[in-house]
Structure 1
Amino acid sequence: MRILFLLFAILPIIEIALLVKVGGIIGGWNTIAIVILTAFLGSYLVRREGLQTLQTAQDKMQRNELPGNEIVQGLMLVVAGVLLVTPGFMTDILGLLFVFPGSRHVIASHLTKHMKARVVTSAGFGGQSPFDQPQSPFTQQPRDENGDVYEGQYTNKTDNDENNRLR
């Protein structure tokens, strides 16, 4: 919750203050030109790195390997694209950290470690998988004395024979 508050409340205030400060130093039009230039440069870099990451993921899948790290990097590139197109210097710096391969690999490895730890701890020792659906007592299958479940359709032949005789 705190992170969302920082993103949506404090970060725009910081961005506006930085834009005004830089605009006062180098001029308003130069500041606008830098913001537009970083948006175009960022979109080019995101596209190039995204295609490279996609190619690596496809190569891993052809070798029957799970491209987990590439999936995380692809998501980071999506976030980087949004950050780089958003006007501001803080978002541009964060977006460039997500785009450049060296920093992206480091951040992605930390994210995957964190996600693996979350999955393991959320599964816990409760005996149920986090993916199990809770069962209602009203939808449980009837069981016999051995605990076996028998399902199927049946037709009562005695009723059909009596109906045929009455006709």
Structure 2
Amino acid sequence: MPWFVAVALLVVPVIEIYVIIQIGQVIGGWPTVGLLILESALGAWLIKREGRRAWNALRTATETARMPGKELADAALVLVGGTLLLTAGFITDIFGFFFVLPFTRPLARKVLAGFLSRRIAGQLGGNPITGFMPGTYRPPTAEDADRAHRERQSASDDVIQGEVIDPDQPQDNPKSS
């Protein structure tokens, strides 16, 4: 993943400059600069509005003791989208608007959830302790309950006999007499 970020930081500015030059050749230099300024101003206003909505939804979810999964995803998307909108360029603005606009954010949230679940499943390979693999939950069956009961029974058969010795209590030591 770090190599992807490094490549993106090198390639995206080159693509942005190319697109800005191409648009500037079609509509002119000053109209292109004006369009970039207009997109940035619209983006800043949208970030402020949607950021406030995301924050209020997150606060409401925590106050009502709900798990704020959707709200956290929305806040993250608004943050990333806002960063992209404030970056000068048309390509980053397209992605920024996709992440920030309230009618496209649910789709972006689904893409983000799918990416994260594949990434987590790939890194964990399933939990070796519980066997849980993200996205594969199934309710327990009667067979699962029987197996768990048998495992508990076999574990209780392993009893180790021993004696508890308290170091603070004097011990009767037959060797010292």
Q: TM-score, normalised by structure 2?
A: 0.66
1:3 aligns with 4
* Residue ranges of structure 2 left out of the alignment (5+ in a row): 131-159, 162-166, 169-177
Q: TM-score, normalised by structure 1?
A: 0.70
Q: Residues 51-70 of structure 1 correspond to what in structure 2 (within 5 A)?
A: 51-70=52-71
Q: How far, CA to CA, are the matches of 1:17 and 1:99 in structure 2?
A: 25
Aligned pairs, number: 137
Residue 46 (structure 1) aligned with residue 47 (structure 2): yes
Q: Residues 89-108 of structure 1 correspond to what in structure 2 (within 5 A)?
A: 89-108=90-109
125 and 58 in structure 1: CA distance in 2 versus 1, 3 angstrom threshold:
closer
Over aligned residues, Cα RMSD in angstroms?
2.9
SS of alignment partner, residue 17 of structure 2: helix
SS of alignment partner, residue 102 of structure 1: coil
2:157 aligns with none
Supply the AA of the counterpart residue of 2:97.
L
Q: Residues 135-150 of structure 1 correspond to what in structure 2 (within 5 A)?
A: none
Q: How far, CA to CA, are the matches of 1:68 and 1:125 in structure 2?
A: 21
Supply the AA of the counterpart residue of 2:98.
L
7 and 118 in structure 1: CA distance in 2 versus 1, 3 angstrom threshold:
closer
Q: Deviations over 1:27-56 (max 9, x none)?
A: 111111111111111011011011111111
2:34 aligns with 33
125 and 93 in structure 1: CA distance in 2 versus 1, 3 angstrom threshold:
closer
* Residue ranges of structure 1 left out of the alignment (5+ in a row): 129-144, 147-153, 156-167
SS of alignment partner, residue 65 of structure 1: coil
| Relative contact order, higher structure (CA 8 A, sep 6+) | 1
2:25 aligns with 24
> Which has the higher mean CA deviation after the structures are superposed, 7-16 or 118-127?
118-127
Contact 1:69 1:109 in 2 (8 A): no
Q: Deviations over 1:106-157 (max 9, x none)?
A: 11123224324544551624339xxxxxxxxxxxxxxxx98xxxxxxx99xx
SS of alignment partner, residue 104 of structure 2: helix
What is the percent sequence identity of the aligned residues? 30
Supply the AA of the counterpart residue of 2:5.
L
Supply the AA of the counterpart residue of 1:43.
A
Per-residue deviation, 1:6: 4.3
Supply the AA of the counterpart residue of 2:17.
I
2:128 aligns with 126
Supply the AA of the counterpart residue of 2:9.
F
2:151 aligns with none
